[in-house]
A and B are shown apart, each in its own frame.
Chain A
Amino acid sequence: MIELEKRLNNTRVGDVQKTNKDEFLSKLETRLQNSKEDRRTMMTSFTMLIVICMLTITQYGVPDRLDSVYYVDEMENLLETDLWNISGDSLVYDESYLNDMAYFLLEEGYLWETYELINELEQEEEI
């Protein structure tokens, strides 16, 4: 046991006087600065992630009128054809039908189409 203890004690180094303390402190300072910067970067990234998640969940900035996005498709689905390709003389339709059509388009918010329809009717009448 004593021999083993002696051998163990022989491995002891004790105080290491040769260490350059200034260099050690400078390394420590650099490490502390890096740690602070890393923490700041982490915090910024985390905040940005939270903001992105919040915006995704609340759908901030998404247009609330989907018909403005799918305008063309919806027009086609609604009328099944466009007004310019109606085969037949528009004068064949009676006036009340055309009035109803104009009101319908106005109520649905298709101002430009209403204007086109009225314009077309006026041209037909002039002819």
Chain B
Amino acid sequence: MKTVSFRRRYLLPLAALVVLTVSGAGAHAASSHFPTRIVSLSPTATEDLFAVGAGKQVVAVDSYSTYPANAPRTKLSAYSPNAEAIAKYRPDLVVIASDMNHIVAQLGKLHIRVLIQPAAANLNGVYAEIEQTGKVTGHVAGAKQVVTTMRRKVAALVRSVPRPTEPLSVYHELDQTYYSATSHTFIGQMYSLLGLRNIADKASSTSDYPQLSPEYIVATNPDLIVLADTVCCGQTRATVSARPGWGTIKAVKTGEIVAVNDSIASEWGPRIVLFLKAVASAVKTLENQSK
């Protein structure tokens, strides 16, 4: 059961501390060759690798790396990784998000380099990881371009949303038993960027990903509901509107229920811009309605 808490989007994001672990005593660290056979066991890392232009160097990605579609998806597991199964792809670099099953030590015995890129704590962490991916794979310029574009788009989106004196409130839903995310989390910070008030913050003393009471959600009457449980749990605007008692919520009345793909809202790579865009456009619609 314990492993559950390691689900990435439920992890308290560690500081954007990115560790490059080199096998042995760092003997290979000075190697000037860029890796040509990369295995990624992290959906975010897969996205980053392809974004910076290192896609051709990637030989295998784990079973949950669903984006981009042309990534060489395999049955490799990121949650219970097996060193032998990974070694079968003869990688010269393995990118992981967390050291499950002591995989770093295991791969170290096989003299395989490991790059740990934990879930980023904030946007700067995302940029740093993309730049690091570029540096390690030999695509510094590509990475720089990705980051510059992201920065520009994010800034434009942040500028584009209106800032009413009374900030709009948002409820971010992780599953249909009302788990949510506070502003301490990466996804919560996205709402802060757009000037939204996160209703989960009142419960931040318990956890960064608290389970909210449905009474509280209905009573707080959020202006906006963001569903990050459309794929996992089949939630839609219709299922939310049909929940007993939820009909009185503003977001349900106005229909401002943003359904996002779970993976976009939980993989903190370049596609986070899409998430911001979806939320920002809902905010703009709401503001236009109130005028």
Do A and B form a real pair? no
